[in-house]
Each structure stands twice: as structure tokens, then as C-alpha cells.
Amino acid sequence: MGQDTQPPEEGRADVPERVSGDEPLLAARVHRPSDLMRLLGGLLAIGLVLAVAAFAHFTTSGLEKDINAGAGGAPDVFVKIAGLVSSIAVLLVPVAFAIERLVKRDGLRIADGVLAAVLAHGVTLATDLWVAEAAPGTIRDALTQPQSGGGLTDPVHNYLAPVIAYMTAVGMARRPRWRVSLWAVLLLDAFTMLVAGYTTALSIVLTVLIGWTVAYGTLYAVGSPNVRPTGQTLLAGLRRVGFRPVTALRAEGVPDSADSGDRGRRYIVTLEDGPPLDVTVVDREQQAHGFFYRAWRRISLRTITTRRSIVSLRQALEQEALLAYAAIAAGANAPKLIATSELGPDAVMLVYEHIGGRSLDSLDDHEITDELVRSAWRQVKALQSRRIAHRRLTGDAILVDRSGRVVLTDLRGGEIAAGDLVLRMDVAQLLTTLGLRVGAERAVAAAVEVLGPDTVADCLPLLQPIALSRSTRATLRRLARERSAREREAVLAASEAAKRERELAKAEAAGTAPDHAVVPAAAGSTRAGTKAVAKAGTKAEKAEKKADKKAEKRALDTALDEAREEDLLAQIRQQVLLIRPQAPVEPVRLERIKPRTLVSLIAGAVAAYFLLSQIASTPLSTISQADWRWVAAAVLFSSLSYVAAAMSLLGFVPERVGFWRTVVAQVAGSFVKIVAPAAVGGVALNTRFLQRSGVRPGLAVASVGASQLFGLGAHILLLLSFGYLTGTEKSQSFTPSRTVIAGLLTVAVLVLVVTAIPFMRKFVSTRLRSLFAGVVPRMLDVLQRPVKLLTGIGGMLLLTGAFVLCLDASIRAFGHDSQSISYASVAVVFLAGNALGSAAPTPGGVGAVEGALTFGLVAVGLPLEVATPAVLLYRLLTLWLPVLPGWLCFNWLTKREAL
């Protein structure tokens, strides 16, 4: 079931049972997602307890009074005896459990428990110190109470939290007898401590949560002992259901990905009598594989497109058994299920009749005939006739046996009584799977022949990457990268060939040109003639350069058109539309929310909270006392920044582009910044604007990339330069030299980390290469035009200067001259805040920029009551007020097809 493996010959009754020696060794420890979820849940519960202690002061104090009043009636002798018993039991129960585990040779669990106890003790000490020294008074009052001899009780109990962490980490809660003992000891100890007045109710709750959370954090960090069943356990389970196994051979080549990792381990089992068996073993660890990916799919996609999560192993077993019987009843070729059984509390097995064969992925291209493709579609037609969805029709789920019969495997993720949308997704998935192997034309032709043109046409709105399996999406992305690389190589080769042809043509023209005779003339006539000849030569040179550029553009466009390849999904759509031109092609909206949207929403909410808190903390009297002359100056400098931005862009565009229209485009960028991250919206808008202005797409991207690259370098140089200047100032309130050194060290450490880790190094290099591809040739073109280069450099410097002066004017609008700071310090603060804003995922860097600028201005000596309104005024002028003009400019440019 999964590969063409010849089973060993049937053994005799006296042949010992064995598992193949090449069975992969199981990891000694596994990191369970359930432990991580419990860790996160514990942290959330601790936060809620602290929030209740901080904000529900009257509730907690009333609870303490009620407890003290009820405890006053308890007999003193009973309290002392209960305290003595609980104190002894808290120590004896863990020791007894440790002895039992050591006798059963399970010392690793004891080591995990000891580690968790040590960490819990450290956390309790840190919590006690925080509550005593830095916590708000309401939290201190809720977690402690005065002692009779003076002082306060401990906020968290240093011995109880480690015991709870130890008991949780060693797994006492999973054993009924020990679980009862554990809870009895904990309840008795908590009761005696409350009655004796040694603690509070919230303190006990916090202690339990800390021990529980630290235990699961330890288990997730170091891993839990692997209890997955081995091959020997499988053989014993087969004997219990009436089989007489001889050997179990682990099947190889089973993919391990987030969307297929829960398919189980597969074995080919030979019996003493009878044909071999295909056995699938599923345990809790495999079932949890890819949990976070499935959880994200369930959140981000519409409910109708996601299958229900399997809660338990029993449900997983019943789901697969039901689908296996339903598929066979529908007339589809599927593995026949003949037995099921549990392998202990953490695993199940499913026993199928053996199917010898190979998966579609393992077949060579010449082996995939048209008849085989049609047979695959017949199996899907049989399933859909009974409204059964497979949900994962990838190449490794389609098996071809020795007789050429197609068998559909991996039915566990399927669905009974599926809706139309899910059935159409199956058609789209199989079209893509077969298209990857035999091409779009053959895949569509076979589908139309078996399913009919209408059924195939109905799947076009589902033919989108998000509707396909994860492995298929990865394959399509890899093919897209390869296709882009081929197109880029073809364009570069065409460019080099065109350049060589032009150079050869010029050389031939220079070698065959006739020599012109020099005719004597008067002195005046000679000077006039010389000027005319020079002017004519300049015009001819410009015309020649213009003709060369046009020729190069035509050659590159032709090469790009010849090298352009359509992706597989577009090819499939084309083939279907040839048969059904009226077929719907508008994609169905499957996504509920995108990752970038979710991050932006969360970051935007945090930023809005931060901004509103800043506004609320700013008195209205401060705003009314602002110096409106400096406010007007700040408005002027903010307006000047758009002219500077246009200059910095046009300086890297050799082609002729209208200046004032470029200024309007920069104003339109103020609107785009609100709906996209700061580092993304402006780049996309400028690229689109240059393309609409007649610049070829590749050169437009290169021009914007060159502008961004030069801006990054200028930003770093200016930051270092102004940092050095602030270090030379005689100011006692700011020591920027240390700040600059710390910043440089931080950058150096980050660079070392990125270059040392292969994954991060590859990620960064790939992104930089794609971002700045073609930038170097574009920079060389700009260097040949000094005026353009000076325009770009001047625009960069003017842009930085305008923003710095706008921030400085905003500061002076709310402060006196004695509170003013130097321009160099303001520049350092602006450059650092702007860098954080560009890196922030929020639109316009909202939240990150305000926080960075406020913190920076306070660090250089500006009072907080001046820094806060100054930053708000600066952001109002540079981010919020330009939104309406930006929207108007955006619509104006759009109507004139300039965007």
C-alpha cells in the first residue's frame, strides 16, 4: 500500500516473528503540540489572574474577608493536624512515585520532573521578588496578607509550585491512583494554609498555574519520552485480532509533510498462511503532526473548504473505516479494510489487503498512458457519484498496481456527503496533479472524456493555489521560480546579443565611412561652421543613442515575449475555455483572512491603543499653547518632502518622466501608506507609476530598486554621521557615542547571526537578490548622467532634511528655546524612528514610529510633556493630514491611467 514491494515468502509456523532491520529508529523524545498549547494556556491564565488582582481589588479583598471569617470557626487542633499531614504528604507522594518509576526503569521521567521543579522554584523566586519590589500595590495586596509577627506572606509558595511542576512533568496525573493522591494532598495543603492565614486564594491559584505552566514548558522544550508503538507492538496487536504474522517490513517513500504527516506508518506484513497485509499504524504524535498548519487553515479559510479536525484516535479509526467501506460501495478501487484494533491507549492500526504497486509520483513519464489517466478520473467519478470527497488527490495517493489498475488510497481525510464546493476542489486538485505529470492538454482531455465538459468547467473558479494541497502548492512555487529564472536568462542573453550587434554595426560603419574634404573659408565662417558641425554632431549622437535604446527595448520585449511561459493553472484554464468558452473563471473567495491582514490588524490595534493613550495623556492646554508660527513652518517642511521624494525617484530614471506628475504620485503615496506597510506601499506605487509613464516593467523595478538601495545606504551614512556629531556635543543629557557603539554592535551581531544560520542566510540573500535584480546595470546608466545623479542625491538629502526640520519645528512649537535640542540629535532620532517604521508591519509604521520617536526624544533630553505632543503633531502633518489629498491624487492619476 504505497510502493511496489515484493513480500517475503510465507514463513513456517516455527519461523520467529521479526521486524525488518531497516525500520527507521524512532526519536527518543518528541515535542508535542499539546504541551505547547497547555504552556500558552497557562501563560494566559497567569495573565488573567494578575489582571484580576490588579483591577478587581474590591472583589479580591471581599473574598479574603469571607475566607478569613469562615476559617475562624475551624478547630485549632484540626488545623494543626491537617497541616502536619499535608506537609509530610507533599514530600512523600512525589518520592514514592519516583521510587516506583525507578523500579520500572523509567528514570527519564524523574529527570524531567526534577528539571521542571528546579525551574519552577526559580520562577517562584523571581515572582516573589517582582511582587515585593516592582508590582502595583493592588497585586501585592491580593497575593499577600500581613503576618502576626510582622511582614507579609509569600506571594507564591516556593515549595508547592516545584512539587506541582514535578508531579505534572512525570505524568502522575495520567495514572488514576496517583492522581487521586495528588489532588487530595494539594487540596488538604491549600485548605490548611488558607485557614491558618499563611496565604490568599489568588496566591494558591497563581502557585498552581506557575507549577503547571513551567512543567509543560519544560516538557515541550526538552521533549517527552516517545511512546509510539514499534514493529514488535504491531506484531503483538495482529496476533490479538487472529492473524499469525511472520515479518513486518516498513514501507519506504511515504511523504512526511504537514498535510500528510498524519497518514500513519505503513508496514507490509507476511503471514504464516494467506496473502500479505498492508497495515497502517496511527498514533497521537502522528495525528498531532501539522497541528498548527491545520489550525491556521481552519482560521484563514472558509469553514466549508476545511475538513473537521479529528479529536481522538477512535474517531480517526472510525473515519477511515467508514470512508474505506463507502468508497468500495461506490464502485471505486480502494484498499479493502479487513480489521482494526487499538495498540494500547495511544495508537490504533488498520489492516488492509495488500496491494502491490507504485504511486503515480514514482512512475516514469512514458508509463503514464492516456488510459491510466482516464482510469484515475473514473475512480473520482465513482466517488463523486455518491458525493464522497477524497480531499487529497496528490500523486502519492494514486496507486497503480501490477495489472495497471488505479487505486485511490489515503482516504482518511475524505468526507462523506460532501458539498458541491468540496467536490469541485477534488476535480481542480486532480487536474493539477495530472497536469504536472502529463501536461494540461492531456489532463483536461481525459477529464472531459470521463466527467463531461460541464463538470470540468465548473471547477475553474476553484483552480487557485489556496484550494490545492500543500505539497502541490510547493511544487507550483518551485516551477514558477524555475520559469522566472529561464525568462531572466533569455532576456539577458537577448540584451547581450543586441548590444554586440550594435557594436559590430558601429564598427563596420566607422570603417567604411568616406573621408570628408576640408574646404578653406574665412575666419568668421569657420567658427560658425564649427559650431554648426558640433551642434549637428550632438544632435546626431542623441538621435543615435535614442535609436539604440529603442532597438534594445524592442529586442528585450521580443525576447521576453518568446521566453514567457504560462503557469500550469493558466494552461489548464486555457484548455478548458477552448471547450467551454462561457465557463466561469472568476475565482471563488476561499480565504477568510490572509496572514498579512491578520498581522496588520493585530499590529494596527496595538498601534491604535498606543496612539489613543498618547492623545489621552496630552492635556488640551498643551495643544492650545502651541506656537502656531512653528506649526506653519512644520507644514511647509512637510509639503517640501513631496518635492524631494519626486527628485529622489526621478534621479534614478534615465527616461523622461514628468516632474509635477511625479510629485502628485508621491502625494498619492500618502494614501497608499495607510492601507499598506510603509516599506511596501510606496515601492509598489512608484513602480506602477513609472510603468504607466512609459518605462519598461523591468527597468521600472530596477529604478525603484536603485532608489531604495541608494536611500538605504544614505540612511545608514547619515545616521552614523549625525551620531558622531552628537557624540562631539558638550551635552550632559545625552551620550550618543555609547548609543552609536551599541547600535553598531547590535547590527554586527544581527549580521553575524544571519550569515551563520544557513536558512536565514538563504532567505535574506534570495529576498535581496529578487529586490535589487537589475539595480547595478541601472545604476551604471545613471552614473553616465551626472545631472540625474545629482538630482537623485539632492532629493535624498532634501527629503531627510525636510523631515528633520518638520520634526524640529514640531518640537519648537511646544517647547521653549531652553528645551530645544540640536539638529543633529533630532536627525538621529528621526533616522532611527524612520528605520523602525519601515520595518514595522503596520500601515505607515503606526505605533512603531510614534514609540521610537517619543523614546528617542526623551533619551536626548526632551521632557515627555513636550516630546509627546511634538511627535503627534509631526505624525499628523506627515501621515494623517495628507491622506485626503493623497486619496484625491490617487483617483486623479487612476482616471488618467497614470497608475
State the DSSP string of 767-821.
HHHHHSTTHHHHHHHHHT-HHHHHHHHHHHHHHHHHHHHHHHHHHHHHS-GGG--
Strands (E), 791-899: none
Mean pLDDT to the nearest integer, 103-114 = 71
Cα separation of 154 and 200, whole Å? Answer: 9
- Highest mean pLDDT, choosing among 197-211, 567-581, 692-706: 567-581
Highest mean pLDDT among 406-415, 621-630, 683-692, 835-844: 406-415
pTM over 0.85: no
Q: Which of the residue ranges 13-27, 750-764, 837-851 has the most confident prediction, judged by mean pLDDT?
A: 837-851
**Span 480-499, pLDDT tens digits:** 888 888 877 877 777 777 77
Q: Percent of the chain having pLDDT more than 90? A: 11
pLDDT recorded at residue 254: 46
878 close to 641: Cβ distance less than 8 angstroms: yes
List the grid coordinates of 176.
488514576
Q: Sign of dihedral through CA atoms 609, 610, 611, 613? A: positive
Mean pLDDT in residue range 94-123: 75
The answer on pLDDT for 517 being more than 50 is: no
pLDDT band at residue 680 using 50, 70 and 90 as cut-offs: low
DSSP H/E element including 306: none
Residue labelled with grid coordinates 523566586: 125
Using DSSP, state whether 145 is helix, strand or coil. coil
Q: Is the pLDDT of residue 748 over 70?
A: no
C-alpha cell at 132: 515585593
Q: Decide if 462 contacts 421 (C-beta within 8 A).
A: yes
pLDDT at 16: 47
Mean pLDDT of 97-118: 73
Determine which of 288-297, 735-744, 820-829 has the lowest per-residue pLDDT on average.
735-744
* pLDDT(147) > 50: yes
The pLDDT-based confidence of 259 (bands split at 50, 70, 90) is: very low
| pLDDT value for 829 | 83
- Is residue 789 over pLDDT 90? no
Lowest mean pLDDT among 228-232, 367-371, 573-577, 792-796: 228-232
**Please, which pLDDT band fits residue 679 given cuts at 50, 70 and 90?**
low
**Which of 553, 457, 6 lies closest to 251, judged by CA?**
6
Instruction: Give residue 750's pLDDT.
Output: 59
Look at residue 379 in the predicted model and tell me its pLDDT: 94
Alpha helices (runs of H) in 618-696, residue ranges in sequence order: 620-624, 628-650, 659-675, 678-692
CB 54 within 8 A of CB 153: no
pLDDT band at 1 (very low <50, low <70, confident <90, very high): very low
Calpha distance 219→223 (Å, rounded)? 5
Q: Is the pLDDT of residue 759 over 50?
A: yes
Judge whether residue 598 has pLDDT over 80.
no
Residue 657 has pLDDT above 70, yes or no: yes
Tell which residue, 284, 225, 26, has the closest CA to residue 106.
225
pLDDT of residue 581: 86
* Cell numbers for 151: 511582614
Please give the mean pLDDT across all residues of the chain: 75
Q: Please tell me the distance from the alpha carbon of residue 863 to that of residue 867, in angstroms, as a whole number.
A: 6
Distance CA 899, CA 889 (A): 10
**How far is 235 from 237, CA to CA, in rounded Å?**
5
Q: Which residue has the higher pLDDT, 673 or 623?
A: 673
* Lowest-confidence segment of 205-214, 228-237, 603-612, 618-627 by average pLDDT: 603-612
518 has a pLDDT exceeding 50: no
